[in-house]
Amino acid sequence: MDNQTQSAPAQPAQSAQPTEPSDQTDGASEFQMGSSLLEPEFDVNVKLNDLQQDPNNPLYSVKEFSDLNLPESLQKGISALSFTKPSKIQERALPLLLQNPPQNLIGQSQSGTGKTAAFVLNILSRLDLTLQQPQALVLAPSRELARQILGVVQVMGGFMEGLTTYQAVPDPSTRGQQVTGQVVVGTPGTVMDLARKKQLNTRGMKVLVLDEADNMLDQQGLGDQCKRVKGLLPKDVQTVLFSATFPEEVLGFADLFAPKANSITLERTNLTVKGIKQMYLDVSRDSDKYNALIKFYGLMTIASSIIFVRRRETADELSKRMESEGHHVVTLTGGLDGSERDSVIDRFREGKAKVLITTNVLARGIDVQTVTMVINYDIPDKPAPGRGYVPDAETFLHRVGRTGRFGKVGVALTLVHDKRSWEMFRSICQELSIDPTKLDTDDWDEVERVVKNIIKSGRNAKVGGTMFEG
């Protein structure tokens, strides 16, 4: 597979993933939406329309895409994706991003609200298609996210004659290749490597985007790489940082990374997505978590589900055990090589695999619209100087945000098994103002009924309308 692609007019570019225009931008095909449990297209659009009329909803906007002064080719790209109206972040960020001279932006919006399209439209509208050189760079924390973003660039830019892209993720088949793609999307390590080997010319770069920016700047290794990459770009590069979370301490260095940026931020109490129904199961021992998981297998396969664990080893053990008992699952961890990872995520997107076990490597950004259930098999934690490991509310929010995308509903189920895990979960819920529903392990039929009902409802009918009270 070639990392460098050129798009033909009126035809989305070829990429690592098929990129047919559909409302699933990541290359997943329509058939995934065909489950009898999912609503007819018409109902889905009517409900999305309702959500977009509600000023309290993150998908609300007063404007139409046609009000945003985008070139016709991009309007066509938007239509190819079946987007009818912008979301709040798209409506607010695009005018700020598109103004000249270009200004930096720090943009925050809940998971699944369309941040990718906001920064991709800005990039595409700033390209000079007559120049065959890198002009925009997007950095993402994982290979899978970089590939997904590239897919959006290619579909959205599918009507721009001569658009070229480059996927900068580790790939032995492209060793030594000179990068000529106008839009480069990759992980910081590979991008730095390409620049060091002079395969990537950074002098013509006009836009730099950090997706999942808080994560990229916060982690020591990644943050250093991002800073080094930025140091290679022209001084006046437009720097754009996007994430669903920007903890206070990160906003400090975000300002240094994107000086004088316009900013769109959210109140801490407003971070959660209302369509994601939060539930938990209280089991008595660590070993009972497995049995609880197995009880959920049927519900997990109604559409697609992701199970998050803390360690690669747990992912491997769980998958071996589940497979040996006849449950079909796939696993994606940093322990696999690049082509294996590509094949796992592609199968999951295509609906060929319905249950994915993974670590935090896929906690952020991944957009697979059929995911109706996220399971926190282990509660996310992070190291804190002098305090050991503490609950990680940001990662929790990103993990559960793999469901409930763009107004859809989803279930987030967290397993607690002892005092410590209970306290960690409680602290996360408090921090995020989540009021989870306890599922009763004595009545599995009821659990099944409740969860099925949520999954069946497809779209969150109205903001604030909770399925469970108390």
Ligand X SMILES: Nc1ncnc2c1ncn2[C@@H]1O[C@H](COP(=O)(O)OP(=O)(O)OP(=O)(O)O)[C@@H](O)[C@H]1O
| By the rule CB under 6 A, 372 interacts with ligand X | no
Close Cβ partners of 451 (under 8 Å, ≥ 6 residues apart)? 279, 296, 299, 373, 411
Structure tokens at 163: 């658009």
Measured from the CB atom, is 277 or 408 closer to ligand X? 408
d(CA 226, CA 296): 40
Instruction: Write down the least CB distance from residue 166 to ligand X, Å.
Output: 20
Please choose, out of 31-39, 110-118, 307-315, 377-385, the segment that lies near ligand X by the rule CB under 6 A.
110-118
DSSP 8: P
Please choose, out of 190-198, 221-229, 326-334, 363-371, the segment that lies near ligand X by the rule CB under 6 A.
363-371
d(CA 384, CA 380): 13
Question: Do residues 211 and 145 make contact, with C-beta atoms less than 8 angstroms apart?
Answer: yes
User: Which H helix or E strand runs over 279?
Assistant: strand 276-282
CA dihedral 404, 407, 242, 435 (to 10 degrees): -50
Measured from the CB atom, is 90 or 460 closer to ligand X? 90
Q: Which of 7, 116, 359, 360 binds ligand X (CB under 6 A)?
A: 116
Measured from the CB atom, is 81 or 261 closer to ligand X? 81
Measured from the CB atom, is 112 or 391 closer to ligand X? 112
d(CA 368, CA 374): 12
Residue nearest to ligand X (CB): 114
Measured from the CB atom, is 63 or 295 closer to ligand X? 63
Binding mask 219-248 for ligand X (x = CB under 6 A): -------------------------x----
Structure tokens at 182: 């106008």
| By the rule CB under 6 A, 351 interacts with ligand X | no
Site for ligand X in 18-47 (CB under 6 A): 25
Measured from the CB atom, is 145 or 237 closer to ligand X? 145
| By the rule CB under 6 A, 369 interacts with ligand X | yes
Instruction: Write down the least CB distance from residue 93 to ligand X, Å.
Output: 11
Q: Which residues pair with 312 in a beta bridge?
A: none
| By the rule CB under 6 A, 112 interacts with ligand X | yes
| By the rule CB under 6 A, 119 interacts with ligand X | no
Question: Do residues 332 and 368 make contact, with C-beta atoms less than 8 angstroms apart?
Answer: no
Measured from the CB atom, is 24 or 421 closer to ligand X? 24
| Measured distance between the N- and C-terminal CA atoms of the chain, rounded to whole angstroms | 52
Instruction: Write down the least CB distance from residue 324 to ligand X, Å.
Output: 33
Collapsed DSSP state (helix, strand, coil) of residue 260: coil
Please choose, out of 86-94, 223-231, 372-380, 381-389, the segment that lies near ligand X by the rule CB under 6 A.
86-94
Helices assigned H by DSSP within 112-233? 115-125, 143-156, 188-196, 213-218, 220-232
d(CA 362, CA 358): 7
51-79 burial, b at 16+ Cβ within 10 Å, e below that, comes to bbeeeebbbbbeeebeebebeebbebbbe
| By the rule CB under 6 A, 436 interacts with ligand X | no
Q: Which of 141, 275, 401, 410 binds ligand X (CB under 6 A)?
A: 401
| By the rule CB under 6 A, 185 interacts with ligand X | no
Q: Which of 21, 365, 410, 458 binds ligand X (CB under 6 A)?
A: 365
| By the rule CB under 6 A, 87 interacts with ligand X | yes
Instruction: Write down the least CB distance from residue 378 to ligand X, Å.
Output: 20
Instruction: Write down the least CB distance from residue 109 to ligand X, Å.
Output: 6
| By the rule CB under 6 A, 114 interacts with ligand X | yes
CA dihedral 309, 313, 316, 318 (to 10 degrees): -50
Task: Point out which residues bind ligand X (CB under 6 A).
Answer: 25, 81, 83, 85-87, 90, 109, 111-117, 244, 365, 367, 369, 401, 405-406
